[in-house]
Amino acid sequence: MVVDAHAHVIVPGLGAEVDWEDGKQVVRFAGKEIRAAVREFVDLNLILAEQDRAGVDEIVLCPWVTLLGREPERQNEALAQMAGGRVAVLGTVDPARPESLVELMADGRLSGVEIAASVNGDYLGHESFRDFWAAAEETQAFVFVHPTTRGFDLPVFEDYYLWNAVGNPVETTIAAAHMVMAGVLEAHPRLRVVLAHGGGTVLALRGRLRHAHSFQPQARARLREAPEESLRRFYYDTVTHDETLLRALIEFAGSDHVLLGSDYPFDMGLEDPAASVRALGLAPEDEEAVLGGNAVRLLGQEASS
C-alpha cells in the first residue's frame, strides 16, 4: 500500500484561476501568476491518473495553502465531495474557532485539516491556539502543518528560489520549535500533527533547542520534558530530497512517525515519492509503515473503505 499523504488540490471559484498555456499550468491569484504547479491542480480524475503513474494507491488531498481560510464552509463541502474511494481529504478551519474543527470531524467526510505554520503573524505555539490543539487531540484529527510560502519579507528570498528552497522549510521549523518549547506536544501527547517537508530543519536544531531549554526561563516554565521528546511526538513527511537526511529522520523519529509525501503538484515535489523510501533499504515492516501504513493508521481508516 502506497499512500501519498502530502498532495494539494484547488477548489474552483475561490479566486484562483487555473489555465494551461503552451503545455504549462498557470495559476492566477491576487494579481500574480504562479507557475510552480507543474502537474494537474484541479481535476480529480486527472490528479488520480498522475498518481497512478507514480505508483500511488491512495492519496491525502489538502487545499493549496494560499486558499486556507477562504470560504471554509463552501471549500470544505467541495473538498468533502472528493473524499471516498482512494481519496482522503483534509479541510480548512479557523483555528480561532476550535468548535469548527469539532464540527468538521463529527461530519465524518474529512479526515482532518491543513493549517498554516503561522496565522495572522502568530506561530502555532501561541496561547491563542491552545483550544484548537485541545480540540485536535480530542477529535484525533489529522493536522497537517504547511508553510504559508511567503513567511519572510526579506529581499534575499527573491533570489535563486530561496523563498521556496529555504524559506518554506525554515517557516515550518519555526512553527515546530515554537510548539515544542511552548509545551503543546507535551500537554497534548495524542496529537496527530504532521510536519511538511520533513519538518524543515528542526531536527538539525534539536541540540540548540535542548541547550536553550536547559537555562531559558520561559522555555523551562512551559516545557518539562526534553525538547527531543516533543519532537518525537510529531509526524514527518518524506519530502527531503536527500537520502541521508531521510534516513536520519526515520532513525530519529521512528519508522512509525514518518509518512510518504510528494508535495504534488509542485516543482519542488517528488514525481516518484515511493522510490526515495525504497532506496533506503529499510526493513520490510519499516518500509511498509512509511509507504502507507502510518497514513492509514493516522487517518483512522483506509481511504478506500
Does residue 143 form part of some domain? yes
pLDDT at residue 162, rounded to an integer: 96
Does residue 16 form part of some domain? no
3-class DSSP assignment, residue 37: strand
**H helices present in the chain, as ranges:** 44-53, 72-80, 98-107, 130-139, 162, 168-181, 184-187, 206-215, 217-222, 227-231, 243-253, 273-278, 284-288, 294-299
Question: Could you tell me the pLDDT band of residue 305, with boundaries at 50, 70 and 90?
Answer: very low
Does residue 100 form part of some domain? yes
Does residue 305 form part of some domain? no
Does residue 19 form part of some domain? no
- Is pTM beyond 0.85 here? yes
Does residue 24 form part of some domain? no
Does residue 288 form part of some domain? yes
Instruction: With a cut of 60, say whether residue 301 has pLDDT above it.
Output: no
Domain that holds residue 112: 3-10+42-299
pLDDT of 79-102, one tens digit each? 999 999 999 999 999 999 999 999
Structural domains counted in the chain:
1
Does residue 29 form part of some domain? no
pLDDT of 132-166, one tens digit each? 999 999 999 999 999 998 888 899 999 999 999 99
Query: In this structure, what CATH number is given to the domain that contains residue 153?
Result: 3.20.20.140
pLDDT of 268-281, one tens digit each? 999 999 999 999 99
